[in-house]
Chain A
Amino acid sequence: MPFNLLVLASLAYVSFLFFVAFVVERRAAKGAVGWLRSPLIYTLSLSVYCTAWTFYGAVGYAARSGLEFLTIYLGPTIVFVGWWWVLRKLVRIGRQHRVTSIADLISSRYGKSNLLGVIVTVICVVAATPYIALQLQSVTLSFGVFASATADGWAKPDGDVTSVWVAAGLALFTILFGTRNLDANEQHTGIVTAIAVEAVVKLVALIAVGCFVVWGVADGPRDILARIDASQMAQWHMQPSRWTGLIFLSAAAVLCLPRMFQVMVVENSDERHLATASWAFPLYVLLMSLFVIPIAVVGLEVMPAGANPDLFVLTLPLSQGQGGLAMLAFLGGFSSATSMVIVAAIALATMVSNHVVMPFWLSLRPAQAVSGDVRRLVLLSRRLSILAILGLGYAYYRGSGGSSALAAIGLISFVGVAQILPAMMGGIFWRGATKVGAGWGLGLGFVIWGYTLFLPSFGVDAVMSAQLMAQGPFGLTWLRPQALFGVVGMDPLIHALFWSMALNTLVFCVVSLLTFPGPVERVQSAAFVNVFEADSGLSQAWVAQDGTGAEELLVMAQRILGEDAGLAFFEAEARAQGRAGYLPDPTAGFMDQLERRLAGSVGAATAHAMISQIAGRAVVSVEDLMAVANEAAQIMEYSAKLEEQQAALTRSARALRDANDKLTTLSVQKDAFLSQISHELRTPMTSIRAFSEILTEGDLPPALVTQYGGVIHAETKRLTRLLDDLLDLSVLENGTVQLNLDLANLREMIDRAMVAASHTAAERMFVIHRDLPNEDVFLHTDGDRLTQVFINLISNARKYCDAASPELRIVVRRKGGRVTVDFIDNGSGIAKDKQALIFEKFARLTDQTRAGGAGLGLAICREVMANLGGTIGYLPGQRGAAFRVTLPLRLERVPV
């Protein structure tokens, strides 16, 4: 097959992918995402895990080490099947905090520490170089295969030249794809779709080759099984340490690889897609590895002894004369390599620009955060990063000689990125994990990885001398790179994995336990660990300062988000605040929103730093918060005191008002009383004066003199009685009355009262019902005073009862320590509105002359009863006037 045709096919394929990405981005820009955001696309994009290592290397791996290649796919299967543990949380955190990369996750979790971001970035970049070298190597080798297989004259191209071209082409392609725009959430719909297309291509290609091998070359599955037992693969020996170690390693890698994090978390558009991916992704890798063993077995059998097993996928169809199938396989391998390089380069470039270039640039010229063109800078730094990363990959490829088995190179990468695992798992599950702990753990793990695995991988005497490998540095044998602490006889890879992970985790945990996290760190740790609890943690507390201009913020946001997007964001925020125009108030809430939004583009630490530059040191530390809280507590205490005082004041004011009201009422009453009393006194006085004047004039018949004298006498008697009553009342009211407490029989008192009252309206015949047995009660009270009350009540009944045949019922009851005596007549009673009045002084319901009293009787009764520790009240609802007297059986002390 002509070399040019091969190049042309590759270019056409790349153009097709670019077209797909372009169309999709256009659709996405219009908002018509639809199926582009489906779980299917998400799952297929995850297949970026399966790189050229899987496509070419797995067969080679199987040919060399039997079933061990499966470990690389079993680990991810466990992680995805167990998505409820880790992936769900990672994706939720990633979406909630707009995480842009794994370095951003670590940096954001540990208090937006940029140092950690840099460490993770460095680990990822260094660990990715062998991996990218692997892709370059595989593509270069695959070109070489076609060249050597042809007989049409063109020589096998120089591997070095090819790899340069491949590296440059991939860099260009990635830059075109990945850095066309600076997306708000760092999501690349177009690329994800293109990756999904590539996923289909590589799956179809591998399955096609597999089917050809199983049914075209061999005689179906049964034959394949027979061939397995006959081949050298049957010699395979399962090493438990490698088997478990590699399963763990691949599980760790699928979580920590920057490109996996990119497609799994950053590009995730819906958490529910994970539920589908939890089974669909394992299914994908199962299908990818299903035909690996048959291809390897048949390849070992059919191909000449020296053939590179890594290339069986290509060479087998070619050797059987299946040029078209080989071409498909080539495109499949090309897809695997390109998709990995594109996503990895984008993820790494994002990390480099967000955690290395931007912070460096910000510290270099702080003033330009606002005025400079940040967007262009970010894009430029990403493009340069992509070039640098591919350059590094190329350098590793050249440095390592491009001869190692693909799987061996990939595993070196895996161990490198696995160093992030302790910090990541600790970060999302353990609130006590601290920045310092994570930093030391990551650093130590990275150093051990470099010392025991990465540097030795360049080959003996390339970086490390043979003497160092054999005897350790400075003759310290316990520090030999592949036998640390005297552990010999371990597989070098497992040795590196074991020591790096063990010491990394140990240091991470111990240092975390010993150190104290900073304020932002503690806030973030709560927000990450409790991400499923609603409203977890308080977010960054920005304090809007007077100097913070919304306009400056807008300018900055536009530089990063783009003119329209920035303006739209500010307008929406302003509207949410109920303001017209484009400039919202720089409230704490708004600043927090803005920071998250910017973090989606340039990472949490950078966004934080940029807003800090405009808002000043506006971040509130926990110490500040505590001080504020203390102050607030003091203020609250003070205001509580004030409130208490105010309540006391209100109470006394109310008491004063009540007293005033009472005084006013009393004053009114006194006036009324005075006018009443003068009226009462004046009436008899008038008649006395008139009759005495007549008498002084003399010459009156004796009969008249006697009559007038009688009138005067009667009036003075009335006057005296009135004055007696008044005096009595005054004494009673003042509480200065002398009570003669003694035992007295109730029946006797009522008897006396009836006799005394019989003079009143003596002409009326009364039927009186009594309850003699009940009346036989001895009371300890002032008998005379009580009798006075009874007399008053009985004579009132005699006077006012308007029935034709008047009756009076006297009912006595004992209740507890009290006695009630009811006086009920059968008259028409007292109207409801008057009932409250009858006990007032001078209250007379009927005509005064007819009653002949001053209207003080019931008032006196009330006072007497009060003095006797009892009450008197009107008893409504008895079909007549009814009064109830209540008094204690035994009056112990004189009430005041």
Chain B
Amino acid sequence: MKRPLFLAPQSYRQRRLRDAARLLPILAVFLFVLPMLWGEERNDLRNTGVDAIYLFAVWFVLIVAAAVLGRRLSSTDVPPVLLPVLPVVPPVGRD
């Protein structure tokens, strides 16, 4: 199947939206492991309160982003209705 080179703006947006949905967890991983890189210079002790605020803030931002993306994606991406497929009767003979 050959994919078209140019898309209508709407479907182009739609694809970028899916890309965003795919990138979001990668961003999440990055932001969640980021705290590992700070703190060690401050007397080898962490500022637990600040860390907690940072993590919860990132968490909340991610939730909001996921909500926006999820809403946009589900308004356009309607999954096929999974009805039981009618049995296909094989041809009995050829005429």
A residues sitting closer than 8 Å to B (CB atoms) are 66-67, 70, 74, 77-85, 92, 95-96, 225, 228-229, 233-238, 240, 243-244, 247, 271-272, 275-276, 278-280, 282-283, 286, 290, 293, 534, 573, 576-577, 584-585, 587-590, 592-593, 596-597
Question: How far, in whole Å, are A184 and B66 apart by their CA atoms in the complex?
Answer: 33
Question: How far, in whole Å, are A378 and B27 apart by their CA atoms in the complex?
Answer: 46
Which residues on B sit within 8 Å (CB–CB) of A237? 44-46
Which residues on A sit within 8 Å (CB–CB) of B32? 74, 78, 247
Which residues on B sit within 8 Å (CB–CB) of A593? 84-85, 87
Query: Are B48 and A247 in contact, CB atoms less than 8 angstroms apart?
Result: no
Out of A78, A236, A271, name the residue touching B79 (CB < 8 Å): A271
Nearest residue (CB) in B for A74 is B32
Question: How far, in whole Å, are A96 and B67 apart by their CA atoms in the complex?
Answer: 26
In the complex, besides A272-B79, A293-B52, 7 extra interface pairs with C-beta distance below 8 angstroms are A67-B52, A77-B28, A84-B73, A247-B33, A276-B70, A282-B66, A589-B85
Query: Could you tell me the distance in whole angstroms from the C-beta of B51 to the nearest C-beta in chain A?
Result: 6
Query: Are B18 and A84 in contact, CB atoms less than 8 angstroms apart?
Result: yes
Which residues on B sit within 8 Å (CB–CB) of A279? 63-64, 66-67, 70
Out of B25, B26, B35, name the residue touching A238 (CB < 8 Å): B35
Contact with A along B53-90 (1 / 0, CB 8 A): 00110011011111101110110001110101111111
Which residues on B sit within 8 Å (CB–CB) of A276? 70, 74
Query: Are B63 and A243 in contact, CB atoms less than 8 angstroms apart?
Result: no
Instruction: Give the residue among B32, B48, B69 with the most A Cβ atoms within 10 A.
Output: B48
Q: Please tell me if B7 contacts chain A, counting CB pairs below 8 Å.
A: no
Out of B25, B48, B73, B89, name the residue touching A66 (CB < 8 Å): B48
Query: Are A229 and B87 in contact, CB atoms less than 8 angstroms apart?
Result: no
Query: Could you tell me the distance in whole angstroms from the C-beta of B64 to the nearest C-beta in chain A?
Result: 7
Question: How far, in whole Å, are A276 and B45 apart by their CA atoms in the complex?
Answer: 39
Question: How far, in whole Å, are A74 and B67 apart by their CA atoms in the complex?
Answer: 17
Question: How far, in whole Å, are A593 and B59 apart by their CA atoms in the complex?
Answer: 44
Chain B interface SS verdict (over half): helix
Contact with A along B1-34 (1 / 0, CB 8 A): 0000000000000000010011011101100110
Which residues on A sit within 8 Å (CB–CB) of B44? 237
A sample of 12 cross-chain residue pairs with beta-carbon separation below 8 angstroms, ordered by A number, consists of A74-B32, A78-B25, A78-B28, A81-B65, A92-B79, A233-B48, A247-B29, A272-B74, A278-B66, A286-B59, A588-B90, A589-B88
Nearest residue (CB) in A for B55 is A70
Query: Are A67 and B48 in contact, CB atoms less than 8 angstroms apart?
Result: yes
Query: Could you tell me the distance in whole angstroms from the C-beta of A601 to the nearest C-beta in chain B?
Result: 14
Query: Are B87 and A82 in contact, CB atoms less than 8 angstroms apart?
Result: no
Query: Are B87 and A286 in contact, CB atoms less than 8 angstroms apart?
Result: no
Which residues on B sit within 8 Å (CB–CB) of A81? 24-25, 28, 62-63, 65-66
Nearest residue (CB) in A for B72 is A275
Given known A-B contacts A235-B45, A573-B87, A576-B86, A282 and B59 have beta carbons under 8 A apart: yes
Interface residues on B, range: 35 or more
Which residues on A sit within 8 Å (CB–CB) of B28? 74, 77-78, 81-82
Question: How far, in whole Å, are A225 and B49 apart by their CA atoms in the complex?
Answer: 6
Out of A96, A235, A282, name the residue touching B82 (CB < 8 Å): A96
Question: How far, in whole Å, are A51 and B28 apart by their CA atoms in the complex?
Answer: 24
Query: Are B24 and A236 in contact, CB atoms less than 8 angstroms apart?
Result: no
Question: How far, in whole Å, are A206 and B23 apart by their CA atoms in the complex?
Answer: 33
Query: Could you tell me the distance in whole angstroms from the C-beta of B22 to the nearest C-beta in chain A?
Result: 5
Query: Are A236 and B48 in contact, CB atoms less than 8 angstroms apart?
Result: yes
Query: Could you tell me the distance in whole angstroms from the C-beta of A49 to the nearest C-beta in chain B?
Result: 15
Query: Are A77 and B48 in contact, CB atoms less than 8 angstroms apart?
Result: no
Question: How far, in whole Å, are A95 and B81 apart by their CA atoms in the complex?
Answer: 11
Nearest residue (CB) in A for B65 is A81
Out of A79, A228, A275, A597, name the residue touching B49 (CB < 8 Å): A228
Nearest residue (CB) in A for B85 is A593
Query: Are B87 and A234 in contact, CB atoms less than 8 angstroms apart?
Result: no
Given known A-B contacts A84-B21, A279-B67, A592 and B52 have beta carbons under 8 A apart: no
Nearest residue (CB) in A for B68 is A279
Which residues on B sit within 8 Å (CB–CB) of A96? 82
Instruction: Give the residue among A74, A228, A234, A592 with the most B Cβ atoms within 10 A.
Output: A74
Which residues on B sit within 8 Å (CB–CB) of A589? 85-90
Question: How far, in whole Å, are A77 and B29 apart by their CA atoms in the complex?
Answer: 10
Given known A-B contacts A243-B36, A286-B63, A593-B84, A234 and B70 have beta carbons under 8 A apart: no
A-B residue pairs, 6 tightest by C-beta: A82-B25, A589-B87, A275-B74, A279-B67, A279-B66, A275-B70
Nearest residue (CB) in B for A270 is B79
Nearest residue (CB) in A for B1 is A533
Query: Could you tell me the distance in whole angstroms from the C-beta of B85 to the nearest C-beta in chain A?
Result: 7
Query: Are B55 and A67 in contact, CB atoms less than 8 angstroms apart?
Result: yes
Query: Could you tell me the distance in whole angstroms from the C-beta of A297 to the nearest C-beta in chain B?
Result: 9
Question: How far, in whole Å, are A534 and B49 apart by their CA atoms in the complex?
Answer: 51
Question: How far, in whole Å, are A585 and B25 apart by their CA atoms in the complex?
Answer: 50
Query: Are A77 and B70 in contact, CB atoms less than 8 angstroms apart?
Result: no
Given known A-B contacts A244-B33, A276-B70, A290 and B56 have beta carbons under 8 A apart: yes
Question: How far, in whole Å, are A233 and B60 apart by their CA atoms in the complex?
Answer: 23
Query: Are B46 and A77 in contact, CB atoms less than 8 angstroms apart?
Result: no
Query: Are A577 and B89 in contact, CB atoms less than 8 angstroms apart?
Result: yes
Which residues on A sit within 8 Å (CB–CB) of B60? 286
Which residues on A sit within 8 Å (CB–CB) of B78? 272
Query: Could you tell me the distance in whole angstroms from the C-beta of B14 to the nearest C-beta in chain A?
Result: 12
Question: How far, in whole Å, are A74 and B31 apart by their CA atoms in the complex?
Answer: 11
Nearest residue (CB) in B for A577 is B89
Which residues on A sit within 8 Å (CB–CB) of B88? 587-589
Given known A-B contacts A82-B22, A85-B22, A585-B89, A77 and B62 have beta carbons under 8 A apart: yes
Question: How far, in whole Å, are A573 and B65 apart by their CA atoms in the complex?
Answer: 46
Question: How far, in whole Å, are A410 and B9 apart by their CA atoms in the complex?
Answer: 49
Question: How far, in whole Å, are A297 and B71 apart by their CA atoms in the complex?
Answer: 37
Question: How far, in whole Å, are A604 and B88 apart by their CA atoms in the complex?
Answer: 21
Question: How far, in whole Å, are A95 and B85 apart by their CA atoms in the complex?
Answer: 13
Which residues on A sit within 8 Å (CB–CB) of B67? 278-280
Which residues on B sit within 8 Å (CB–CB) of A584? 87
Which residues on A sit within 8 Å (CB–CB) of B70? 83, 275-276, 278-279
Question: How far, in whole Å, are A589 and B78 apart by their CA atoms in the complex?
Answer: 27
Query: Are B46 and A234 in contact, CB atoms less than 8 angstroms apart?
Result: yes
Question: How far, in whole Å, are A235 and B44 apart by their CA atoms in the complex?
Answer: 9
Question: How far, in whole Å, are A590 and B85 apart by their CA atoms in the complex?
Answer: 10
Nearest residue (CB) in B for A231 is B48
Which residues on A sit within 8 Å (CB–CB) of B85? 589, 593
Which residues on A sit within 8 Å (CB–CB) of B80? 534
Instruction: Give the residue among B18, B49, B65, B74 with the most A Cβ atoms within 10 A.
Output: B49
Nearest residue (CB) in B for A91 is B79
Out of B33, B39, B63, B87, name the residue touching A577 (CB < 8 Å): B87
Which residues on A sit within 8 Å (CB–CB) of B24? 81-82
Nearest residue (CB) in A for B21 is A84
Query: Are A79 and B52 in contact, CB atoms less than 8 angstroms apart?
Result: no
Which residues on A sit within 8 Å (CB–CB) of B46? 66, 234, 236-238
Query: Could you tell me the distance in whole angstroms from the C-beta of A279 to the nearest C-beta in chain B?
Result: 4
Question: How far, in whole Å, are A72 and B25 apart by their CA atoms in the complex?
Answer: 16
Out of B21, B82, B90, name the residue touching A587 (CB < 8 Å): B90
Query: Could you tell me the distance in whole angstroms from the C-beta of B8 to the nearest C-beta in chain A?
Result: 21
Instruction: Give the residue among A229, A238, A293 with the most B Cβ atoms within 10 A.
Output: A238
Which residues on B sit within 8 Å (CB–CB) of A597? 84
Question: How far, in whole Å, are A272 and B85 apart by their CA atoms in the complex?
Answer: 21
Nearest residue (CB) in A for B67 is A279
Query: Are A67 and B51 in contact, CB atoms less than 8 angstroms apart?
Result: yes
Question: How far, in whole Å, are A275 and B63 apart by their CA atoms in the complex?
Answer: 12
Out of A243, A275, A293, A573, name the residue touching B73 (CB < 8 Å): A275
Nearest residue (CB) in B for A96 is B82
Question: How far, in whole Å, are A584 and B52 apart by their CA atoms in the complex?
Answer: 64
Question: How far, in whole Å, are A96 and B24 apart by their CA atoms in the complex?
Answer: 27
